[in-house]
Amino acid sequence: AAALEQGAGVQPFAAMAVAYRLGEEGQPHGQILFQYAEPSAAENDLAPRRLLAESGVSLVTGKPYAATLFTVTDAGVDDDTLAMTVEPVDGKARRLFDMVYRRDLLFAVCP
């Protein structure tokens, strides 16, 4: 709840995508992308959205995302897109897709 309160100020986004790729060492590297109507909305959303992803608590387990699903390793904005690079816990890419299927997406709250 504290992360959600601190994450207040998130911007509405038009689309969200979750994907992963395999790195050279065979480990999955995830991407969580948000697209906005305007580049300024993506820029304004970077800090609060990253805070929710880094400090948020799973709606399913009640435990921090960082302990159960993923850790954020990088985040940035390119034009109207906010991109977070994430590492799934224990290197299991399926965690990212299970998160979507279960709608365990507190960090993706959209006002």
Domains with residue ranges and CATH for the chain? 2-108 (3.30.200)
- Band of residue 110 on the pLDDT scale cut at 50, 70, 90: confident
Q: Is the pLDDT of residue 7 over 90?
A: no
Q: Which residues of 14-97 form beta strands (DSSP E)?
A: 15-22, 28-35, 70-78, 81-88
Q: How far apart (Å, rounded) are the C-alpha atoms in residues 80 and 26?
A: 30
Q: How far apart (Å, rounded) are the C-alpha atoms in residues 79 and 39?
A: 5
- Give the model's pLDDT for residue 93: 87
Beta bridge partners of 78: 81
- Band of residue 5 on the pLDDT scale cut at 50, 70, 90: low
Please name the residue that has the structure tokens 């387990």: 61
- Give the model's pLDDT for residue 3: 45
Enter the pTM of the model.
Answer: 0.88
- Listed in sequence order, the DSSP H helices in 10-82 are 39-55, 65-68
Alpha carbon of residue 100 to chain centroid: 11
Question: What does each C-alpha distance from 73 to 26, 31, 77, 111 come to in angstroms?
Answer: 17, 10, 14, 25
Average per-residue pLDDT in the chain? 91
Q: Taking residues 64-86, what's their average pLDDT?
A: 97
**Percent of the chain's residues with pLDDT above 70:** 93
- Give the model's pLDDT for residue 26: 86
